[in-house]
């Protein structure tokens, strides 16, 4: 298969769909693809795994459920949540390159003002949640550009809009995974020595019979200070269908009332401790102390004294950073407490129930949008901002909502190492070690393959928990958390590593997921090169040390200085 120049450039910029340069292998009536590693899921971790494996010379086939790679950064349209030191340390060099490439894309392709163009740490949206609030299509273009040379050379096969439907096992090894095209219904079989699960929900785990957990563990099992008294596998964090909004003063974009608006306008989440009141309101339960807290919303960008202005919080396009006339108004990303959906789960339910819950979450987001247009209190005593509009051109969807729900919690492997609050929680670590202040550290893991930092942040759950939010310590990513207890050639690459319900809350963010994915791609390469299993690499001190040296050579930090 060949591409003309126009088609190739379109693919590199994220315009077209699936591309493959790998020839078909025929086995009777079944189409097969063989590679050194099959990555199921094009999440942010999946992209990092693919780039690492390709960089090390492997052939890769990667699938993705949507038509956009990049997961939470693109199809879920969530700008990165990061720690305060991200510009200088505490993340892989490749992740910081991704961030810098996003900034450079704006400099080279967008009508920035001279002042914005010369900002070293350009924040295109100027949102307060991140030092890099940006549009999802820019991240998509950058990721596609990173992968484009490998697509052209045939080292990478990318199968968009494909999902896994079957896995064949030989003992404790995966021999093949069958994937189905959502567009055509056709199936093909992927074979490889190693399989990486980079799906948002850990979809390979049940297909392969891999042992895993979901939801909340019991305190008796994990010994965690903040764990539940009784295990509740179905008690999972809210997911959110995010959407971007633009405000154009003087315009009226109010359309038809959403079908479920009356339900959501009066909906009060049934949570313990109680929520602050109605969900569609400018108040919420403050995550740290669960007391009612007033929020502000003013799409003109004006400050709201005494409260957080939600418009500025996740603003992804600040019109002031661009040449006057480039945009009719600024835009923000709505990923707020008000559109977290707790009415049902996406994991271990039927496909029909999963789609029902996604439809409910979409109705919630559309209802929130309509409420902002028509009923949201204004500082002048009026109600509603009719000049708000959805931005389907930014999301790549017809309805202006994200292509895929923002997922906070996945199936999690039963791993050789399970990271618990005892390892990273500030309060429990202090109780264990008797230390405080600068002397208080997270547990040091001898098999570290990366680092991260974020507080433990659990959103309200389907089981009725309100926020669970408390301090953690800068932490490491242990290799043991990436190795299933039984299956030999399955590696997790994102939120499906061996964490608990609680510690998932600090390991689920963008730079950590990238680090997990990059470590997964490097691990497969090293295992093939040394002809040693991932379990063997971890258990053999000389092999582990060699692997860790190879990681540091590629700019992967293994410890906090």
Dump pLDDT digits (tens) for 67-126.
999 999 999 999 999 999 999 999 999 999 999 999 999 999 999 999 999 999 999 999
User: Is the bond preceding 273 in cis, omega lying within 30 degrees of 0?
Assistant: yes
State the pLDDT at residue 303: 63
Average pLDDT over every residue of 313-317: 96
Beta bridge partners of 60: 37, 156
Q: From CA 342, how far away is CA 354, in angstroms rounded?
A: 13
State the pLDDT at residue 134: 98
Average pLDDT over every residue of 327-355: 97
State the pLDDT at residue 30: 59
Write the pLDDT tens digit of every residue in 356-368.
999 999 999 999 9
User: Between the CA atoms of 542, 545, 549 and 555, what dihedral angle is there, to the nearest 10 degrees?
Assistant: 150
Pairing status of strand 331-334 against strand 212-213: unpaired
Write the pLDDT tens digit of every residue in 493-527.
999 999 999 999 999 999 999 999 999 999 999 99
Question: Which residue is it, tokens 């309101």?
Answer: 281
Average pLDDT over every residue of 466-475: 98
Contacts of 284 (CB under 8 A, 6+ apart): 275, 276, 292, 293, 295, 337, 338
């Amino acid at each position: 298969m060949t591409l003309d120049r126009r088609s190739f450039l379109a693919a590199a910029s994220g315009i077209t769909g699936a591309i493959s340069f790998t020839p078909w292998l025929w086995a009777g009536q079944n189409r097969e693809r063989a590679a050194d590693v099959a990555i199921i899921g094009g999440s942010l971790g999946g992209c990092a795994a693919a780039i690492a494996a390709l960089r090390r010379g492997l052939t890769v086939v990667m699938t993705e459920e949507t038509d956009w790679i990049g997961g939470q950064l693109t199809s879920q349209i969530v700008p990165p949540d990061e720690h305060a030191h991200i510009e200088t340390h505490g993340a892989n060099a490749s992740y910081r390159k991704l961030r810098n490439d996003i900034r450079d894309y704006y400099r080279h392709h967008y009508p920035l003002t001279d002042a914005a163009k010369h900002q070293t740490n350009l924040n295109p949206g100027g949102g307060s949640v991140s030092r890099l609030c940006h549009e999802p299509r820019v991240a998509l273009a950058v990721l596609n550009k990173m992968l484009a040379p490998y697509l052209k050379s045939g080292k990478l096969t990318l199968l968009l809009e494909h999902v896994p439907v079957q896995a064949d096992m030989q003992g404790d090894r995966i021999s093949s995974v069958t994937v189905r095209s959502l567009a055509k219904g056709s199936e093909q079989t992927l074979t490889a020595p190693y399989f990486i699960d980079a799906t948002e929900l850990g979809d390979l785990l049940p297909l392969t019979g891999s042992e895993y957990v979901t939801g909340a563990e019991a305190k008796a099992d994990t010994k965690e200070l903040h764990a539940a008294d009784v295990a509740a596998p179905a008690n999972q964090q809210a997911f959110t269908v995010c959407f971007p909004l633009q405000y154009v003063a003087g315009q009226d974009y109010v359309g038809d009332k959403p079908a479920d608006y009356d339900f959501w306008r009066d909906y009060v989440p049934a949570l313990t401790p109680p929520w602050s009141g109605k969900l569609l309101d400018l108040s919420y339960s403050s995550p740290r102390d669960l007391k009612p807290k007033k929020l502000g919303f003013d799409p003109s960008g004006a400050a709201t004294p005494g409260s957080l202005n939600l418009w500025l919080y996740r603003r992804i396009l600040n019109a002031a950073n661009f040449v006057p006339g480039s945009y009719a108004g600024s835009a923000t990303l709505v990923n707020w407490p008000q559109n977290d959906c707790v009415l049902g789960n996406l994991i271990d339910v039927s496909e029909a129930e999963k789609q029902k819950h996604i439809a409910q979450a979409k109705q919630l987001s559309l209802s929130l949008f309509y409420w902002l247009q028509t009923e949201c209190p204004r500082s002048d005593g009026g109600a509603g901002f009719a000049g708000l509009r959805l931005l389907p051109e930014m999301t790549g969807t017809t309805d202006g909502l994200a292509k895929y729900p923002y997922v906070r919690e996945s199936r999690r492997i039963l791993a050789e190492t399970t990271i618990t609050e005892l390892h990273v929680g500030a309060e429990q670590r202090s109780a264990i070690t008797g230390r405080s202040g600068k002397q208080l550290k997270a547990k040091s893991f001898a098999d570290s393959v990366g680092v991260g930092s974020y507080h433990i942040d659990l959103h309200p759950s389907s089981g009725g928990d309100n926020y669970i939010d408390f301090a953690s310590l800068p932490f490491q990513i242990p290799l043991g958390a990436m190795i299933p207890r039984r299956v030999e050639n399955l590696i997790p690459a994102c939120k499906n590593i061996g964490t608990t319900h609680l510690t998932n809350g600090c390991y689920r963010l963008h730079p950590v997921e990238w680090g997990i994915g990059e470590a997964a791609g490097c691990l497969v390469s090293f295992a093939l090169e040394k002809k040693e299993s991932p379990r063997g690499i971890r258990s053999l001190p000389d092999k582990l040390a060699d692997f860790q040296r190879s990681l540091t050579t590629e700019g992967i930090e293994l410890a906090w200085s």
